[in-house]
Amino acid sequence: MKQTHRCWAEINLHALRHNLLWIRQRAGHGVKVMTVVKADAYGHGLKPIAAWLMQNGTDLFGVANLEEARAIRRVGPGWPILMLGACLPHEVDLALRDHVMPTISSIEEAACFARAARRRNVTCRVHVKVDTGMGRLGVPHAAAVDLVSRMTRLKGVEVEGLYTHFASAEDNPGFTRLQRERFQKVRKGLHTARIPIPLVHASHSAGLLHEPDGTCNLVRPGLLVYGIAPPGWRVAAAGLEDQLEPALSFHCRVALVKGIRKGAPLSYGGTFVAPRKMRIATITCGYGDGYLRSGSNRAHVLIRGERCAVVGRITMDQSLVDVSALRSVSPGDETVLIGRQGSNCISANDLAEWCGTVPWEIFTSISYRVPRIYRGSHAA
Ligand SMILES: *Cc1c(COP(=O)(O)O)cnc(C)c1O
């Protein structure tokens, strides 16, 4: 089947299951796992991935918006879903209709949900977000206890969860500790006010990797589910990230091979000039597929198991690689952009570094033009 593709992504479902089990173990007994599947499950394909994670024991889903929630609803009508983004005023009714738990950062948002819920004669379960230093969503930490107490008096909403988000867990232990302390203070305040909160969570992937924590009862990993450790200078405790299995690989093919003379400029702008006689392969992917243009003259690919450098600008549909060192290469040869070939491997983190970005952006850039092919399950 894959012989027919020019540029495709393969997703190994066994790897996802392995990573989910690993996360479960790392999080510890009695801690629930919310798998974050926003942005089309980090480019892996929302519906099949959500279905597979349900089968393999995720407890909740985290999404960015209601459209993503609705896609999950079609696969798992009753599954708990938390919307991590803020609900816009005109989306409140839809969130209630689809039983999506909203993230609440202010009394206005809470009141809006309470009113809509009363109109429907239901109670809406919500998670309150506390801003402990990320500066994005969330009630300022110093005002959090007050917000939650006021919400307990609002008919129509019920605070099911309390959470915060780390800004630099992969880089900055000191700031992360400060965020944790602020969050702990809010929890203490709620405890003193005798307001019990069923679910308390803070850790995304970097939190789970670098800051194992025994005080929360839910974790919210995204990147780790897909088998990638967040890059950062904090080296994860020896070998931890090697225990993950990257689920996605990204492939294309050699379309043409030709010799060029010394001094020949390559691709738009002639940013690469051949320093010697070379053999160059044109491959069937470009930034229109999500192979980022910033990897021009920096990225590498695997062909016949060997690393080959991308030379010249990456274009919309095609890129050029130096295959001078290969003994043989022909049109149709599989080219690996992310993944393993022979004994060599290019990780999403490698590609991200070459492109001056992060693996999250590498995954979510892989475009609609790239078919996702699922392996490792008959169900998918
Ligand atoms: C995206 C997101 C996550 C998951 O982040 P990873 O770094 O991919 O694990 C967790 N929590 C919130 C609020 C998010 O927006």
Instruction: Indicate whether residue 165 lines ligand 1 (CB < 6 A).
Output: yes
pLDDT in tens, 44-90: 999 999 999 999 999 999 999 999 999 999 998 899 999 999 999 99
Q: What is the mean pLDDT of the chain?
A: 95
38 labelled catalytic: yes
* Pocket probe mutation, ligand 1, options 20, 26, 36, max atoms within 8 Å of Cβ: 36
* Pocket probe mutation, ligand 1, options 34, 40, 61, 84, max atoms within 8 Å of Cβ: 84
* 254 CA distance to ligand 1 middle (Å): 36
Instruction: Indicate whether residue 169 lines ligand 1 (CB < 6 A).
Output: no
Interval 282-302 mean pLDDT:
98
pLDDT in tens, 9-47: 999 999 999 999 999 999 999 999 999 999 999 999 999
User: Which atom of ligand 1 is least distant from the CA of 163?
Assistant: 13
Instruction: Indicate whether residue 223 lines ligand 1 (CB < 6 A).
Output: yes
Kindly state the tokens that stand for 112.
Answer: 């809006």
pLDDT in tens, 254-270: 999 999 999 999 999 99
* Pocket probe mutation, ligand 1, options 128, 220, 364, max atoms within 8 Å of Cβ: 220
Query: Is 254 in contact with 236 (CB distance < 8 Å)?
Result: no
- Give pLDDT, residue 34: 98
- Give pLDDT, residue 379: 47
Nearest to 199 by CA among 94, 70, 59: 59
Query: Is 224 in contact with 19 (CB distance < 8 Å)?
Result: yes
pLDDT band at 380 (very low <50, low <70, confident <90, very high): very low
- Give pLDDT, residue 90: 96
Instruction: Indicate whether residue 230 lines ligand 1 (CB < 6 A).
Output: yes
The residue annotated as part of the active site, out of 2, 155, 258, 268, is 268
Among protein residues, the one with the nearest Cα to ligand 1's atom 14 is 84
Of all residues in the chain, what percent carry a pLDDT higher than 90?
Answer: 92
Kindly state the tokens that stand for 38.
Answer: 């926003």
- Give pLDDT, residue 289: 98
C-alpha dihedral sign at 40, 44, 48, 54: negative
Helix (H, G, I), strand (E, B) or coil at 241: helix
Q: Determine how many CB atoms are found less than 10 A away from the CB of residue 54.
A: 16
Q: Is 297 exposed, middle or buried (0-12, 13-18, 19+ CB in 10 A)?
A: middle
291 labelled catalytic: no
The rounded Cα 178 to chain-centroid distance in angstroms is 25
Looking at this protein, which amino acid is placed at residue 7?
C
Interval 130-145 mean pLDDT:
98
Q: Are strands 248-260 and 7-12 parallel, antiparallel or unpaired?
A: antiparallel
Instruction: Indicate whether residue 110 lines ligand 1 (CB < 6 A).
Output: no
C-alpha dihedral sign at 179, 183, 186, 191: negative
Instruction: Indicate whether residue 222 lines ligand 1 (CB < 6 A).
Output: yes
DSSP notation for 124-185? EEEEEEEESS--SSSEEGGGHHHHHHHHHTSTTEEEEEEE---SSTTT-HHHHHHHHHHHHH
Task: Flag whether pLDDT at 126 surpasses 80.
Answer: yes
What is the DSSP-derived secondary structure letter of residue 248? E
pLDDT-wise least confident of 220-234, 244-258, 292-306: 220-234
- Give pLDDT, residue 132: 98
What is the DSSP-derived secondary structure letter of residue 120? H
Task: Flag whether pLDDT at 173 surpasses 50.
Answer: yes
- Give pLDDT, residue 238: 60
Interval 200-222 mean pLDDT:
93
Interval 348-377 mean pLDDT:
96
pLDDT band at 299 (very low <50, low <70, confident <90, very high): very high
Helix 66-75 vs helix 46-55: crossing angle, to nearest 10: 50
* 276 CA distance to ligand 1 middle (Å): 47
